[in-house]
Structure 1
């Protein structure tokens, strides 16, 4: 079975650092939420959250070539972005192997902003809190524990499908959104570097 993550070509942090140092650096599209991007990102990266990328992929496609590396926290959302852009007629994009976690672990340069909780940590807090509360309340109110069972089933599905409905809902909160990404501004900055 081929998954989105296995379909996209990977670019290691070391290879990307080498390309950037030699001046042959590809365009970097960071598909995390604006809030995540503001917390830390690779210098020179353009922030196009995954939902925005999916919505405007045809417009973006006109200003991109195959010299693009997609970035997210761990690689999963970047692989989804690669699939969306491939559907729009731009195959062959690369995904940063291991995402920002691997980039930072390699000691590569990072532009930092105000610290905030990562989306994955927020998912663990919300899911764990729901399971804990419904487990305790379940001692007094029969059947309430089934809510925790549903959360567990949802997390299992999230792991198997490499998607997370709870994460997508949390990403829409103002805390995670940050300033709205203006696609016209991103496209204008992509135009500054013409497609080869």
Structure 2
């Protein structure tokens, strides 16, 4: 397994202002993307990218930088794209969090909690409820054990079933459509615009 190529926020900022900027794919949920994203980025949620990778990579003819909250989902997306044969892929080191920390601008929309924070709230609430409830119903301790086991598996496998479920809630849905056809249409439109400018 090769180490994923990373790019820091300063280098990406310079590249975005160059004559041949990379294509920035934000692999967070549509709700997270709508909250804050790098100007010009395309929202291609990780599950959508995995499901339609061949269709999407057919329209990625320039360098690609993958962005998520901190880099974890971007690393999964990078592995998916490299497995499919795309070699011009980089990960934004530290994700959108590092981008904002370094003072670079983002486009802001409706404010929502990011997915990781939602997972912590739900998992923590379930564990606390189970532990307190086990005073009256001792078998509830197994719910807490199940959540702990699920979080351990999530860390080891670098996946999160709870996060995938929470991403499907209406709260995390965007006000605009985010599906394979709309993503491909955006990429095609950008390719046409780039060719006209060249």
Q: What is the TM-score of this pair, normalised by structure 2?
A: 0.90
8 Å Cα contact 2:5/2:91 also seen in 1: yes
Q: 1:185 deviation in Å?
A: 2.9
8 Å Cα contact 2:8/2:92 also seen in 1: yes
**Alignment of 1:108 onto 2:107:** no
| Aligned pairs, number | 192
Q: 1:128 deviation in Å?
A: 0.7
Ranges of 4+ aligned residues in structure 1 off by more than 4 Å? none
CA displacement, residues 77-122 of structure 1 (integer Å, 9 cap, x when unaligned):
1111111112222124101111111111011110000111111111
Q: Which residue of 2 aligns with 1:15?
A: 11
CA displacement, residues 55-96 of structure 1 (integer Å, 9 cap, x when unaligned):
111111111135000111111111111111122221241011
Structure-2 separation of matches of 1:7 and 1:45 = 24
Q: Which residue of 1 aligns with 2:156?
A: 160
SS at the partner of 2:6? Answer: strand
SS at the partner of 1:117? Answer: coil
User: Structure 1 stretches of 5 or more lacking a match?
Assistant: none
- Indicate which of 172, 180, 184 corresponds to 1:183: 180
- Indicate which of 22, 25, 40 corresponds to 2:21: 25
CA displacement, residues 17-38 of structure 1 (integer Å, 9 cap, x when unaligned):
1111233320001111110000
Q: Which residue of 2 aligns with 1:126?
A: 122
User: Structure 2 stretches of 5 or more lacking a match?
Assistant: none
Q: Which residue of 1 aligns with 2:92?
A: 96
